[in-house]
């Protein structure tokens, strides 16, 4: 695997899920595979889970790990082509990428959407520059439009917590309020992976927050959150800003004052209409905005096992990359 951005990059999903369980039984089973190989993890944005779980995954495979925080000690990097570099950015990504690549065998990239230029974000400009100029396998640790390591961990978590083999689980992705403008990477990937998985999938959000069709396909979108929650087995909450699908001039905007949207916060009231549904969120989460304390601390909350499964999803992905070297 030379690039990991979308669900198709992993091939057969059932096989990948089986590999996840194999690794969970013995995290160090493939510890010889990464001997004398180096993973470089490049962060343009903050992270807790991705930083720790991906490092742990590389260590599980016996790799060396280098972590670069671009905004904490490295030269500020210019990412646009054809600009006169008379500002505060001292180095261009086009030199920095091959230099970084010369020190490693695999590169992970975290680079969020700027949320001002939809075409720039949705063409995955930064990630694709790493693919083009590094000559090394590259994997997404949340890019402008996708977060596949998270979606894979989410799917592992759903599979582990669904006990009825006779029936597909009903999984609902719900928008929830947030005071800041957030990217669409997590909901995009969650939708893409749920569509590829064997689940009954529904998305609910206020009008205007329609996700990009390349990720949602023909999935049912329900604007009434309560109706969407009825009989659900898994509720996946996330905020996202306007994807600019139905209103291109509003790309990256918050469409309404969040104070007026607080009835979308996931609380016991909404969970009551589910099928004793589990609550999920990728974290970090703002309590009182996305979800109430009662729900996230309740017995049906999966946020901690979900985060723990990030180590497993990253180990499978790095293993696949090492096998392709």
Restricted to residues 43-102, the positions that interact with ligand CP (CB under 6 A) are 47-50
**Contact call for residue 188 and ligand CP (CB under 6 A):** no
**Contact call for residue 184 and ligand CP (CB under 6 A):** no
- Per-residue CA distances from 120 to 115, 147, 192, 260 (Å): 9, 17, 20, 31
Residue 164 C-beta: closest distance to ligand CP, Å: 27
Residue 218 C-beta: closest distance to ligand CP, Å: 27
Selected range binding ligand CP among 215-223, 241-249, 277-285, 315-323, rule: CB under 6 A = 277-285
Residue 252 C-beta: closest distance to ligand CP, Å: 18
For residue 175, the cross-strand partners are: 238
Q: Which of 125, 143, 150, 204 binds ligand CP (CB under 6 A)?
A: 150
Task: State which residue has the least CB distance to ligand CP.
Answer: 50
Q: Judge contact between 159 and 193, C-beta under 8 A.
A: no
**Contact call for residue 173 and ligand CP (CB under 6 A):** no
Q: What is the DSSP string of 19-41?
A: HHHHHHH-TTTTTTTTTT-EEEE
Q: Which of 105, 142, 154, 192 binds ligand CP (CB under 6 A)?
A: 142
What are the φ and ψ backbone dihedral angles of 181, each rounded to 5 degrees? Answer: -80, 120
Q: Which of 94, 219, 283, 308 binds ligand CP (CB under 6 A)?
A: 283
Q: Judge contact between 56 and 63, C-beta under 8 A.
A: no
- Per-residue CA distances from 304 to 146, 266, 314 (Å): 21, 17, 16
Restricted to residues 23-42, the positions that interact with ligand CP (CB under 6 A) are none
Q: Judge contact between 194 and 320, C-beta under 8 A.
A: no
Q: Which residues bind ligand CP (CB under 6 A)?
A: 47-50, 142, 150, 282-284
């Amino acid at each position: 695997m030379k690039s990991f951005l979308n669900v198709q990059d992993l091939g057969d999903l059932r096989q990948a899920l089986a590999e996840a369980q194999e690794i969970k039984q013995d995290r160090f089973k493939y510890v010889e595979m990464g001997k004398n190989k180096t993973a470089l993890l490049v962060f343009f944005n903050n992270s807790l889970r991705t930083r720790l779980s991906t490092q742990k995954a590389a260590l599980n495979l016996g790799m060396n790990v280098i972590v670069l925080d671009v905004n904490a000690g490295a030269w500020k990097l210019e990412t646009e082509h054809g600009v006169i570099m008379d500002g505060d950015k001292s180095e261009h990504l086009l030199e920095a990428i091959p230099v970084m690549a010369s020190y490693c065998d695999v590169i992970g990239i975290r680079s969020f959407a700027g949320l001002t230029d939809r075409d720039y974000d949705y063409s995955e400009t930064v990630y694709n520059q790493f693919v083009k100029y590094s000559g090394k396998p590259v994997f997404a640790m949340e890019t402008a439009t996708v977060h596949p390591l998270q979606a894979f961990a989410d799917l592992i978590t759903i599979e582990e917590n669904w006990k009825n083999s006779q029936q597909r689980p009903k999984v609902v992705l719900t928008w929830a309020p947030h005071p800041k403008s957030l990217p669409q990477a997590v909901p995009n990937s969650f939708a893409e992976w749920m569509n590829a998985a064997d689940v009954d999938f529904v998305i609910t959000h206020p009008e205007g927050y329609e996700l990009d069709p390349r990720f949602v396909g023909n999935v049912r979108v329900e604007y009434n959150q309560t109706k969407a929650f009825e009989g659900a087995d898994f509720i996946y909450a996330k905020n996202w800003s306007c994807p600019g699908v139905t209103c291109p001039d509003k790309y990256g905007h918050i469409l309404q004052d969040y104070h007026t949207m607080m009835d979308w916060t996931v609380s016991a009231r909404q969970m009551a209409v589910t099928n004793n549904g589990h609550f999920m969120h990728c974290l970090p989460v703002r309590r009182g905005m996305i979800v109430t304390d009662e729900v996230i601390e309740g017995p049906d909350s999966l946020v901690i096992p979900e985060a723990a499964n990030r180590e497993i999803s990253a180990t499978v992905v790095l293993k696949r990359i090492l096998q392709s070297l």
